[in-house]
Amino acid sequence: MLTLASKLKRDDGLKGSRTAATASDSTRRVSVRDKLLVKEVAELEANLPCTCKVHFPDPNKLHCFQLTVTPVYTLDDV
């Protein structure tokens, strides 16, 4: 997380003056948060068992999601 934030600070420093970097500070924080959330969602989906699926109806509201759990039937259960 700190590495990504420092890289974004360096990129802003190359693009503009110190005033421009200060003005875009909140944008940079949102960007870091968004990138980390995307990474966490991908990790969540990768670690779910094959019987579970996650659906995000609104991709802008990652706190609202549907988890579908499908039971596994074997020949012994029938």
What is the mean pLDDT, run by run of 10 residues, along the chain of 78 residues?
A: 59 59 57 84 92 91 92 77
Residue 68 DSSP symbol? E
pLDDT of residue 53: 94
Q: What per-residue confidence (pLDDT) applies to 32?
A: 84
Q: Which residue has the tokens 């959330």?
A: 37
Quote the pLDDT of residue 3: 60
What tokens does 53 get? 């699926």
As a whole number of angstroms, the distance between CA 60 and CA 64 comes to 9
